Amino acid sequence: MKFQPRNHISVVVVNWNRRELLRACLNSLSRQSLEGFELIVVDNGSTDGSAEMVERDFANGRFRLKLIRNRENLGYCAANNQAIAASSGEFIALLNNDAEAEPRWLEALREVFELGADVGMAASKIMVFGDPRRIDKAGHLIYLDGQNRGRGSGVLDRGQYDRIEETLWPDGCAAMYRRAMLEEIGGFDEDFFAYGDDAELGLRARIAGWRCLFAPGAVVRHHRAATLGLDSSRRVELIERNRVLLAAKLFPWSLLWLNGAFYLARIGAGLWAAARGRGELRQFPGLAGKLRLAAALIRGDLEALRLLPRMLRKRREVRKLRRLSDRQIRQLLLRHRIPLRELVEQAV
């Protein structure tokens, strides 16, 4: 089954100084089984010739190209919102510039929306580029302090994620959204800038009554942490800040009051895993590494504190969209909860 009417699907790729990764990404889109889709590339002020490469090499591709050139890096959220506003598709797919899509990626994502008018999001099967047998993300799970993690992250693919099924939300690296859903709930929250932004959008959509389905045939290969790197203090700072903001904006109060306790449990379990050479904390070896990590977490929390009044105002706005009660939201998060041990010990 192929869906190819004009302007039916828009694909968005955001880029910042990753010319060769972007070239490979766009080459993968030129091999899609669906043709005639709209491609919108947003270049966030690159200085490496990325925008010029797009204009030179992809202006006459199998898609209708639209290039948006920003003078500075506006962040992932703002750039995606720009593209969504400029798009014309009934369905909007996002693909990271450090990901390459298999030929049926778009087709497989689009197909799952036929399974219900309340399906607002579709999640891809994202594989590790350097080890295509290993899963990067197959949808998302969440821990109850607001930290989210890819479902199946780091495990070998043995067919355990080969069926269409519900997942909490899609990873923004490779996802598809129904325009009607975005028009109802709004786009990305630009206060998040980057990291956790897809989680906020996805959970907001779930609270508004939309579902997310995992499409196992929608396969992409992803260069992990190509933007900032796994050991980047700035990456940790943004993840920590946005974890707090997500919980403050969207969690029911019955879980929000316990946020600190869940957070301390995760940090303690992470330190124990690191002592045994496991988990994400091993990316920060030695005392100096742990102090650098602690400083990044503190900076993230302080920045979250500064933005907290704004998030609480937005929380009141989200209530106007709600179709789930506090009890139903809590049940949703518990149903898609990642066990603490799995969270702190899985490869990232």
Which tens digit of pLDDT belongs to each residue from 168-178? Answer: 999 999 999 99
Q: For residue 261, what are its two tokens?
A: 């306790």
Class of the CATH-defined domain 9-222: alpha beta
The pTM of the full predicted model, rounded to 2 decimals, is 0.92
Domain residue spans of the chain:
9-222, 233-323+333-345
pLDDT for the residue 230:
56
Question: Which parts of the chain have pLDDT scores under 70?
Answer: 1-7, 225-231, 274-285, 287, 346-348
Q: What is the pLDDT of residue 281?
A: 62
Is residue 144 within 8 Å of residue 266, measured between CB atoms? no
Token pair of 138, please? 């197959």
User: What size, in residues, is the chain?
Assistant: 348
Which residues touch 187 (CB under 8 Å, ≥6 apart)? 77, 80, 81, 84, 85, 201
Which pLDDT does position 279 carry in this prediction?
A: 62
Distance (Å, whole) CA 128 – CA 131 = 5
Residue that has been written with the tokens 């798009």 in this structure: 87
- Give the contacts of 58 (CB within 8 A, at least 6 positions apart): 26, 30, 39, 65
Q: Please, is 231 exposed, middle or buried when counting C-beta atoms within 10 Å of its C-beta (0-12, 13-18, 19+)? A: middle
* pLDDT of res. 288: 76
**Virtual CA dihedral for 327, 331, 333, 336, nearest 10 degrees?**
-170
Of 231, 232, 259, 234, the C-alpha closest to 245 is 259
Neighbours of 281 (CB within 10 A): 19
